[in-house]
């Protein structure tokens, strides 16, 4: 008899927070299992490859969730620069709530380059999806294809880099600076 999806969801939900706040290597399976209140058998039932498969599922879920949200906001007709400003404001608010919070993908993605090809591939898909969302909007705003692609990659890189700097410094200054830089990039 299949196990209920609630154990899979609990594993992903709890692992998401732990990976975002601690990273991949610092998060242990026992810590995930305790927090999710799930037995090891459930973990391996849902994720036969263990921690790396769970981490890839976290990245896929969070990455696609952010992409869908970003696409929804970008489809409102408001200027893309205003949407990016709002996104950065949300990141600033998240850091104000808990300095350990930030991008749900970056801590896992950075470590996955050496730790897990499965997680690295999921991370690459997530970041590519975010870039594609911005690029699609810029293309809809009549940007030339190459310029839209380059600007979208620049905006995502700018935000992710600023988020890392802000987390490390314990100060949102880099994210505030990223807002004006993103506006400049999005002027075309």
120 pLDDT exceeds 80?
A: yes
Tens of pLDDT, residues 24-83: 889 999 999 999 999 999 999 999 999 999 999 999 999 999 999 999 999 998 999 999
Give the pLDDT confidence score for residue 105 in this predicted structure: 86
More confident residue, 55 or 100: 55
Task: Output the CA–CA distances (angstroms, integers) from residue 115 to 23, 87, 104, 167, in the order listed.
Answer: 11, 29, 17, 22
Give the pLDDT confidence score for residue 99 in this predicted structure: 79
pTM confidence score: 0.90
Say which residue the tokens 């890189």 belong to: 157
Give the pLDDT confidence score for residue 45 in this predicted structure: 93
Query: Quick check: 63 and 121 in contact, CB under 8 A?
Result: no
Query: Quick check: 175 and 88 in contact, CB under 8 A?
Result: yes
Mean pLDDT, the chain, integer: 92
Query: Quick check: 74 and 137 in contact, CB under 8 A?
Result: yes
Q: How far apart are CA 87 and CA 98, in angstroms?
A: 17
Start-to-end CA span in the chain (Å) = 56
Predicted confidence band of residue 106 (pLDDT cuts 50, 70, 90):
confident
* Percent of the chain surpassing pLDDT 90: 78
100 pLDDT exceeds 90?
A: no
Tens of pLDDT, residues 137-150: 999 999 999 999 99
């Amino acid at each position: 008899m299949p196990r209920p999806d609630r154990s899979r969801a609990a594993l992903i939900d709890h692992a998401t927070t732990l990976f975002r706040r601690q990273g991949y290597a610092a998060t242990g399976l026992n810590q995930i299992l305790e927090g999710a209140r799930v037995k090891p058998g459930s973990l391996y039932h849902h994720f036969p490859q263990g921690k790396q498969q769970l981490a890839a599922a976290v990245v896929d879920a969070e990455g696609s969730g952010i992409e869908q949200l970003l696409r929804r906001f970008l489809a409102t007709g408001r200027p893309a620069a205003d949407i990016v400003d709002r996104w950065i404001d949300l990141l600033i608010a998240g850091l104000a709530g808990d300095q350990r919070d930030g991008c749900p993908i970056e801590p896992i993605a950075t470590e996955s380059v050496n730790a897990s090809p499965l997680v690295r591939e999921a991370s690459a898909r997530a970041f590519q999806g975010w870039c594609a969302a911005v690029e699609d909007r810029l293309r809809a705003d009549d940007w030339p294809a190459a310029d839209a692609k380059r600007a979208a990659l620049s905006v995502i890189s700018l935000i992710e880099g600023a988020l890392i700097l802000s987390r490390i410094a314990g100060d949102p200054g880099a994210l505030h600076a990223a807002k004006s830089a993103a506006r400049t990039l999005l002027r075309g």
